[in-house]
Amino acid sequence: MKNNQTAWSPEESLKAHSYEFRKELIPILDHIFLASGFGASNSILIEGENASVLIDTLESLKGAEALKEAYAKVSSQPIKTIIYTHSHQDHVGGTSAFCGDGPVIISRRPFSDLLGPNAVSAILGKRAKRQFGMSLSSEERLNIGLGPGETDLRGMGEGFVPPTKQFSEEKLSLTVAGIHLELIAAPGETDDQLFVWLPDEKVLISGDNYYKSFPNLYAIRGTPYRDIAVWVESLNKMLDLEPQYLLPGHSRPIIGRDAIKEVLTNYRDAINFVLQETLKYMNQGLTPDELVQTVKLPPQLAEKPYLQEFYGTVEWSVRSIFTGYLGWFDGNPTNLSPLTQQHEAVKIAELAGGAEKLYHQAQNSLAQEDYQWCMQLADYLLALGEYVQAAKGMKIQACRALARRQISAAGRNYYFTCAQELESELGIE
């Protein structure tokens, strides 16, 4: 398996990862169902004596309506309680489809304000469209790293209904229709994250602090710092429970105490390794560009199928940790007040012997498959306002080539979408 996997191209590996999100209503015990592949995330239904509990509602009404039909085939109980594992739109955007019986909707407090209009909504929306490849063909958008490629995210968030009951304590215990539930604060991927623990069945519904990929410790759509030290603590809380069933917010369930223990332990160790190594080398004075060359997962963790970089990557995480702890300044006085891109471009062009030389060098880089350098040179040309059409054309080709080299769906989709945006600037459809 391992040998086959290492021989695969990133594109082939990512394509195979789509199988993780096949559409299926998976029975867990006789009264719990995990819905996989109905939307970007999972949803879980727990049947009680005369009512059901729903955990997360997918991202949009389209997915939620199909899910409602699927649930109706296995359960006729009214949904009287909905629990949000966290505030991300892919978990709360289908709620109104399930509100017929006036459910109580529970979340932690404070619940993120990312859902409503906020100071950076416009740019977050634009960058999320790139990260999730919302305008891409199915050949380009193989999947979204933690959900199926065919997910239509255009109605994301449309069916959101605000929580009616919130708790700010570490834990909320409740019994609903005979089901014992413990809702436990588990900040990590978001500050408002919780996991649901069913002590009688030893079922852990983890939200997004675990799914089958190296985690998105940083989201390239843009995100405030995700506190990784706290994320590690939340994984420890999950481990302490010794669950028999792990139902994640994305990807397939894991069944069996030993299997879960191994996965969660390695997942925690990988996250903690990246954090501790980054901090260690930051203290030695390494800059973000140097850190990403230095901090690598040890092979015994890097080879685990659930730590492949299908969504988050170690490199982005390392940069995020640096920024989270020290902010944007890398410590080098050269970078305290750098030249403008345009000013630097003028000087680089002078060094190169003129814009035409720069242009030829960019062409050579493209021909030699040195795509990153090609993009950097193309950006100088764009800053100069010279060879603009050609520079955009080269950047499109470089973006597409880099997209195919990404194992991260987020990275792949981002590059492909930027190529598409440049094409539309050039009037290419």
Binding site for Zn ion (CB under 5 A): 41, 88, 90, 208, 249
* Three-state secondary-structure class, residue 422: helix
Task: Find the shortest distance in angstroms from Cβ 115 to Zn ion.
Answer: 13
CB of 88 to Zn ion, least distance (A): 5
67 touches 56 (CB < 8 A): no
* CB-side neighbour CA atoms (13 Å) of 138: 6
Nearer to Zn ion, 235 or 375 (CB): 235
**How would DSSP label each residue in 117-186?**
--TTHHHHHHHHHHHTTTT--TTT--B-SSSBTT--GGGTTTT----SEEE-SSEEEEEETTEEEEEEE-
| 125: its two tokens | 């929306």
Find the shortest distance in angstroms from Cβ 90 to Zn ion.
5
Encode 182-210: b = buried (16+ Cβ within 10 Å), e = exposed. bbbbbbbbbbbbbbbbbeebebbbbbbbb
For residue 49, the minimal CB distance to Zn ion (Å) is: 30
Non-local CB neighbours of 352 within 8 Å, separated by 6+ positions: 358, 361
Straight-line distance from the first to the last Cα atom of the chain, in angstroms, rounded to the nearest whole number: 41
The per-residue b/e assignment along 40-55, b for 16 or more CB within 10 angstroms, e otherwise, is: bbbbbbbbbeebbbbb
Cβ proximity to Zn ion: between 31 and 212 the closer is: 212
Give strand ranges (E) for 48-120.
Answer: 52-55, 79-83, 104-108
Least CB distance to Zn ion at residue 211 (A):
7
247 vs 375, beta carbon nearer Zn ion: 247
Each residue of 140-152: b (16+ CB within 10 Å) or e?
Answer: bbbbbbbbbbebe
Q: Are 278 and 322 in contact (CB under 8 A)?
A: yes
Minimum Å distance from CB 190 to Zn ion? 9
- With respect to Zn ion, which residue has the nearer C-beta, 90 or 330? 90
In whole angstroms, the minimum distance from the beta carbon of 292 to Zn ion comes to 25
Instruction: Output the smallest distance, CB 418 to Zn ion, in A.
Output: 23
Nearer to Zn ion, 147 or 163 (CB): 147
- Which amino acid is present at 57? T
Q: How far is the CB of 132 from Zn ion (least distance, A)?
A: 11
Which lies closer to Zn ion via its Cβ, residue 23 or residue 347?
23
Three-state SS annotation for 157-174: CCCCCCCCEEECCCEEEE
